[in-house]
Structure 1
Amino acid sequence: MVTSVDGRLALLAVLPLSFVVVNALKPFLRKGQHKLPFPPGPIPLPLLGNILSIDTKQPWLTYTQWGAAYGDLIFARILDQEVVVINSQHVAQALMDKRSRIYADRPYLATVEPFGWSYSMAFARYSDEWRLSRRIVHQTFRPDSALKFRPMQIRRAREMIVNLIDDPQHYHAHFATFSSSVTMSVVYDYEIVARDDPLVHLVINAMDIGVVMMTPERAMILKMFPFLLNLPDWCPGSSIKRDARISTNLSKEMVNVPFDYVKQHMVRIYSSRHC
């Protein structure tokens, strides 16, 4: 993963010079720009910003601590990227839902395309295609429409409870199986095995290596040093390139395997009705 030793060595090797160049140019690039004041937040360090204060594996814990000190809207700087953190459901709904035309766009994440997640609505930029996808999702999952999924959710919840009673040590895996099974049932009408389902494992593996890189804290490395994707596999710092390749392959499987299942399932249904 990107936090490996060779990744850190490559980062440290080019970090000082890159920061000096980028930050030296900033005053000239921003000259004449007038901005409204940012929300409150921790004081950033020169060049580094607040990156050293953030738990990159669990950044939400850091943001929760900052929220107690600075409020529901926080400003931070991660290297050269300015970030506003929304720290409450109320503010998130006010900005992202009620004012979605202004704030619904996604930030650029340098890891989305290399890691094979550019197809995902969750990371798509605001566009006509995104608006169409959002409308379809709202039509399908609005409260009155989602009632038809309740029996399936209850059945999956009961399976999860049985798994928790039988094997409480692996509760995290049971929760992951439950959430994946509900999604797979709704989207693909796929009936999973209560434990060790191959498609659930595929989804979990794809998300474990891919989604963790879809955060500003992790994506910043590729934004600052995109050449890491072109390093030879034997070179220090190439672990992020290998992870991107693995993630892309798993992401393609995660999309194609259940889609192929649906096509085969539809063929079987059609054949059974026309025998």
Structure 2
Amino acid sequence: MADRAVARYRCGRTKHSVNMQPAIIFAIFLAYFLLLKWIKRSAKPALPLPPGPKGYPIIGNLLDIPSATPWRTFTEWSKVYGDVMYLKLSRKPAVILSSAKATFDLLEKRSDIYSDRPGSLILKLLSWDWNLGVMPYSQKWRAHRREFHQFFNQREVPRFQSIQLHECHAFLRRLVRSPDNLDQHIRHVLTAIILKITYDMDITDINDEYVHLAQEAVLGFSVSMIPGAFWVEHFPFLRFIPAWLPGFPFRKTVDYYRPIVETMRSKPFDKIQQDINEGKVKPSVTASLIERLQRKSGGVALSSTDDELARNVTGLAYAAAADTTSSATQTFMIAMALYPDVQRKAQEELDRVVGPNRLPEFEDHDDLVYIQAIILEAMRWMVVTPLGVTHCVTADDEYKGFFIPKGAAVIANIWAMLHDPDDYPEPMVFKPERYIKDGKLDPSVRDPLTLAFGFGRRICPGRYLAMGSLFITIASVLHTFNIEPTMSEDGKVFDPFSSVVSGVISSPEYVPCKVTPRSDKAKQLIQESSVLPSTLSG
């Protein structure tokens, strides 16, 4: 919890506060507004824009968007303005989609014009613009997507299962030794999995530098992507304001996170390149990718373009898998602590399918229907990416009689969709049974994964690896541990929605749970677990 608080302090985020002299602010914004009016010569559209809150002159709705959990505010607004809502964000208008139908109609069925990204000055300043997830829809994006998919598609990820098992069993042993460090253990295991797969690095220390790099770099990315979080995004000239002038938190954010992001992307990659040059490289995704690109170029050293591509693809795998899957695992832990009946039913299924003499394996997946339902509900209940990653429309469009202008940011309010009572009755309740009918997953219930991992051509390419890591971690923990809530000083049970880290990636600030082995037999299974990770090839 302290780490998160420190990170927020480093970001310098405040709630709609700008500590500049009012006269300077007014003069700058007025000049900027008049300049935009002068250069803007677009004709008024024949159709009306979607409805939305009125906003203020010049700055539009910037002051209306809260810095904490904006998805909840958007959800409330949608009850007034509808599931297609328009916000004025200075020079960047935004369309908020709050229903699955509207989102699929536009981002899936019209993906030819809704697959771009709006571009982000703050991400460029943070050195995060190499991220496949925020790249413009272009040939460069296609090349990156193709190489990422080559290693992490549905057919390829099963070859990583021995690594996932090995690291999961190490995670269980750490929980036995030091159960109080639950938050750190969760980050450790999921970072260790992706580092082993991507760079063949073994992470054994809970305070390892690479765990810290991934956590901090992704936190910087996450907080910078909140709509309206940094005014420099909407008034680019602010980046030229002298550094000594107070009231610009983006400067503190950039100064802190930029070197972390650059180190995270380059340091493990440089190590692999050095090992290759010294002839001692071991199989990994990075080594395989470098060798593939070298073969394509006739065996010579990587060109600057190929070097950049390889760094970007492997850096994204490292960063994204380490943080998003951690958030989902934290949510699972909290849900089990708060819903003991769910935990009991899951353990009964594990006892029946797996039995007392071994740990769960990937081959048990299809028989563990209730475990699958728990994972679906964890992805729905506390959404990892509540607003997804913003899309951008590349041509004027019309929907439901409304005009959607070219260049508008299009934001899918995934939190609203996954808490729609029409699809998920009692949406604030953690209820895996909602997905099960006659002992099988019920296809008539909307699958949360069709929303949680994004849409159209920008759907998350790492989703298969993430779901594999979630399954084996959740099944193994429930098979061997009991999870209980820790009480506050006043004896109250923790409210999971009262304290979350707001950003494009949302997660609990901390996990108020305690874990204890279910039995001596469970402890013995953990201590005797010895799955060795197989080597990667190809």
The two structures have a TM-score, normalised by structure 1, of: 0.77
**1:7-156 to 2 correspondence within 5 Å?**
8-10=18-20, 12=22, 14-24=24-34, 29-30=40-41, 32-34=43-45, 36-67=47-78, 70-87=81-98, 92=103, 95-156=106-167
Report deviation, 1:171.
4.5
1:212 correspondence with 2:223: yes
Distance 1:27 1:79, change over 3 A: closer
Alignment-mate amino acid for residue 251 of structure 1: V
Distance 1:102 1:221, change over 3 A: same
Distance in 1 of aligned mates of 2:103 and 2:144: 20
CA contact (8 A) 1:109 1:219 kept: no
Report deviation, 1:261.
2.8
Once the two structures are superposed, what CA deviation does each residue of 1:80-108 show, in whole Å capped at 9, x if it has no partner?
Answer: 42112344566555544554331111112
Distance 1:43 1:227, change over 3 A: closer
Matched residue, 2:266: 256
Total equivalences in the alignment:
270
Of stretches 171-180 and 197-206 in structure 1, the one that deviates more from structure 2 is 171-180
User: Which protein has the larger Cα radius of gyration, Structure 1 or Structure 2?
Assistant: 2
Distance in 1 of aligned mates of 2:85 and 2:198: 36
Distance in 1 of aligned mates of 2:236 and 2:187: 33
Report deviation, 1:20.
3.3
Distance 1:209 1:31, change over 3 A: closer
CA contact (8 A) 2:86 2:95 kept: yes
Q: Give the gaps of 5 or more residues in structure 2.
A: 1-10, 283-538
**1:149-228 to 2 correspondence within 5 Å?**
149-160=160-171, 171-193=182-204, 195-224=206-235, 226-228=237-239
Distance 1:78 1:146, change over 3 A: same
Q: Secondary structure at the match of 1:182?
A: helix
Report deviation, 1:183.
3.1
CA contact (8 A) 1:228 1:237 kept: no
Distance 1:51 1:165, change over 3 A: farther
Larger relative helix fraction: 1
Report deviation, 1:150.
3.3
Report deviation, 1:254.
0.6
Over aligned residues, Cα RMSD in angstroms?
A: 3.6
CA contact (8 A) 1:229 1:241 kept: no
Q: Secondary structure at the match of 1:9?
A: coil
Distance in 2 of aligned mates of 1:161 and 1:77: 49
Distance 1:89 1:164, change over 3 A: farther
The two structures have a TM-score, normalised by structure 2, of: 0.43
Distance in 1 of aligned mates of 2:149 and 2:211: 25
Q: Secondary structure at the match of 1:74?
A: strand
Alignment-mate amino acid for residue 253 of structure 1: T
Alignment-mate amino acid for residue 69 of structure 2: Q
Q: Secondary structure at the match of 2:85?
A: strand
CA contact (8 A) 1:156 1:182 kept: yes
Report deviation, 1:111.
0.7
Percent of pairs with identical residues: 25
Distance 1:62 1:145, change over 3 A: farther
Report deviation, 1:204.
1.3
Report deviation, 1:223.
3.6
Once the two structures are superposed, what CA deviation does each residue of 1:51-80 show, in whole Å capped at 9, x if it has no partner?
Answer: 333222433333344455555443222344
